[in-house]
């Protein structure tokens, strides 16, 4: 390989890194066939990035370097528990997932559902080291948990840098690293397919502001990192939508901003306190508004208040009457919540997601209400959800 060609490759790689938005060009190691110095030569012009195949080769080099840098930070998690089977009695049950080092202290981030109910947890590092681990903190709502592995040396702990979701755009390239079907540290690539998705869950309130990606995510990927082209964690892979149980190109990740908000609390306290108004309400529809002669056709009709809760202390009024309907009673006569901090609220999920992503316990919110057909504004100090 001549020096001119070597410089050609180095220049091409640097140009690719700048085009991809990297902070610095990828490192290139060149081994020459002879130690003898050669005269300096004028480098040839850089090839155009529009040349056939040039962009693909540069992207390939970038993905290789990102994987080599990030994969040692990803761990394979195995959880074991004793479960009851109607026919066989108590039997062992084993599950698998992924996780990644969050900080220099060895804390590992994963999904709550990966370790939920586990009696025993084992992590396997990239170098093959197996270590027992314990749950330091967990939060079912955000589907996040933090583990601490035993007996690891500082050299084995390789935390991934955290990114932010504030500047993400649909179409940005992303990489997922995890252990699908037990295949350790598998790399898949794709793009951000959508932002601000809401995941409906049977046993939890809806999880909002979720990242959707077409990077292949399968059972075992849960808890692994979703990375941008700078190698930063922008999400934690958590769920897929699939009729078959395997990837069909619709995967979801808990956003990095949620991770950086929740995980430090899990490390410090073992739990995350969720902001809560302390009320239950019906979602108003146009049909309901006509039937009850309500002054608005969108909003939340307050039914009950938690005694001493945030809404109760703020002076919000709950139902004053019971209306008999088919199948039971409807609590009516309470205030109608139409907006929080000026943001229209039409569903319970919208209320929960707004508070989760914008407020903390102890902060105040402005409630826009309708009482007796008149607008009313109250200020509530958020408490922690029981």
CATH number assigned to the domain covering 275-384: 2.30.42.10
Pick from 188, 196, 206, 189: which is nearest to 170 by CA? Answer: 196
DSSP conformational letter for 138: E
Q: Which CATH class is domain 72-156?
A: mainly beta
Pick from 104, 100, 95: which is nearest to 175 by CA? Answer: 100
H helix runs in the chain, sequence order: 3-20, 54-70, 112-115, 256-269, 286-292, 310-314, 348-358
Residue 9: partners with Cβ closer than 8 Å, 6 or more residues away: 28, 30
Residue bearing tokens 């970038």: 62
C-alpha to C-alpha distance for 242 and 271, rounded to whole angstroms: 31
Q: What is the DSSP string of 222-263?
A: TT-EEE-TTS-EEEEEEEE--SSSS-SS-EEEEEHHHHHHHH
DSSP conformational letter for 46: P
SS (H, E, C) 76-123: EEEEEEEEEECCCEEEEEEEEEEEEECCCCCEEEECHHHHCCCCEEEE
C-alpha to C-alpha distance for 143 and 112, rounded to whole angstroms: 5
- pLDDT by position in tens, the chain (length 386): 444 433 333 333 333 333 333 333 333 333 333 344 444 545 544 456 567 677 778 888 889 999 999 999 999 999 988 777 767 766 677 889 999 999 999 999 999 999 999 999 999 999 999 999 999 999 999 999 999 998 999 999 999 999 999 999 999 999 999 999 888 889 999 999 999 999 888 777 888 899 999 999 998 999 999 999 999 999 999 988 877 777 788 999 999 999 999 999 999 999 999 999 999 999 999 999 999 999 999 999 999 999 999 999 999 999 999 998 887 889 999 999 999 999 999 999 999 999 999 999 999 999 999 999 999 999 999 999 98
Per-residue confidence (pLDDT) for residue 186, from 0 to 100: 94
Q: Which structure tokens are listed for 124?
A: 């396997």
With beta carbons less than 8 A apart as the criterion, state whether 212 and 197 touch. yes
* CATH 2.30.42.10 placement within the chain: 275-384
Q: Which structure tokens are listed for 269?
A: 């306290």
β-sheet bridge partners, residue 365: 380
C-alpha to C-alpha distance for 289 and 297, rounded to whole angstroms: 5
Task: State the catalytic residues.
Answer: 113, 143, 222
C-alpha to C-alpha distance for 100 and 179, rounded to whole angstroms: 11
Per-residue confidence (pLDDT) for residue 383, from 0 to 100: 96
Q: What is the DSSP string of 147-169?
A: EEESS--GGG--PPPB--STT--
Per-residue confidence (pLDDT) for residue 40, from 0 to 100: 52
* CATH 2.40.10.10 placement within the chain: 72-156, 173-269
Per-residue confidence (pLDDT) for residue 98, from 0 to 100: 96
What is the fold of 173-269? Thrombin, subunit H (2.40.10)
């Amino acid at each position: 390989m001549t020096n001119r060609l070597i410089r050609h490759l180095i220049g091409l790689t640097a140009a690719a890194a700048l085009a991809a938005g990297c902070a610095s060009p990828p490192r290139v190691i060149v081994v020459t066939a002879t130690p003898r110095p050669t005269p300096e030569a004028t480098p040839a012009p850089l090839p155009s990035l529009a040349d056939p195949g040039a962009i693909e080769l540069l992207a390939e080099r970038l993905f290789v370097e990102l994987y080599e840098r990030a994969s040692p930070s990803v761990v394979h998690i195995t959880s074991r528990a004793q479960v009851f089977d109607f026919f066989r009695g108590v039997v062992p049950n084993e599950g698998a997932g992924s996780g990644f080092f969050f900080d220099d202290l060895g804390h590992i981030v994963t999904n709550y559902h990966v370790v939920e109910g586990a009696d025993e947890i084992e992590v396997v590092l990239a170098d093959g080291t197996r270590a027992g681990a314990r749950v330091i903190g967990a939060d079912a709502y955000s589907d996040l948990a933090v583990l601490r592995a035993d007996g690891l040396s500082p050299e084995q702990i390789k935390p991934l840098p955290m990114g932010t979701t504030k500047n993400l755009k649909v179409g940005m390239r992303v990489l997922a690293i995890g252990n699908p079907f037990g295949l350790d540290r598998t790399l898949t690539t794709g793009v951000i397919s959508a932002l601000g998705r809401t995941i409906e869950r049977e046993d939890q309130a809806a999880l909002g502001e979720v990242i959707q990606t077409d990077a292949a995510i399968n059972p075992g990927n849960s808890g692994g990192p979703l990375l941008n082209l700078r190698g930063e964690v922008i999400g934690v892979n958590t769920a897929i939508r699939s009729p078959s149980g395997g990837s069909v190109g619709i995967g979801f990740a808990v956003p990095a901003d949620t991770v950086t908000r929740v995980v430090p609390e899990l490390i410090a306290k073992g739990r995350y306190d969720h902001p809560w108004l302390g009320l239950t309400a019906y979602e108003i529809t146009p049909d309901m508004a006509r039937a009850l002669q309500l002054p608005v056709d969108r909003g939340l009709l307050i039914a009950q208040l938690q005694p001493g809760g945030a809404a109760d202390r703020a002076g919000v009024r709950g139902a004053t009457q019971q209306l008999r309907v088919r199948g039971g009673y409807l609590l009516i006569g309470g205030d109608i919540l139409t907006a929080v901090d000026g943001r229209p609220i039409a569903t319970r999920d919208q209320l929960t997601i707004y508070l989760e992503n914008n407020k903390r316990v102890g902060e105040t919110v402005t409630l826009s209400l309708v009482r007796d057909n008149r607008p009313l504004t109250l200020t509530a100090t958020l408490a922690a959800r029981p």
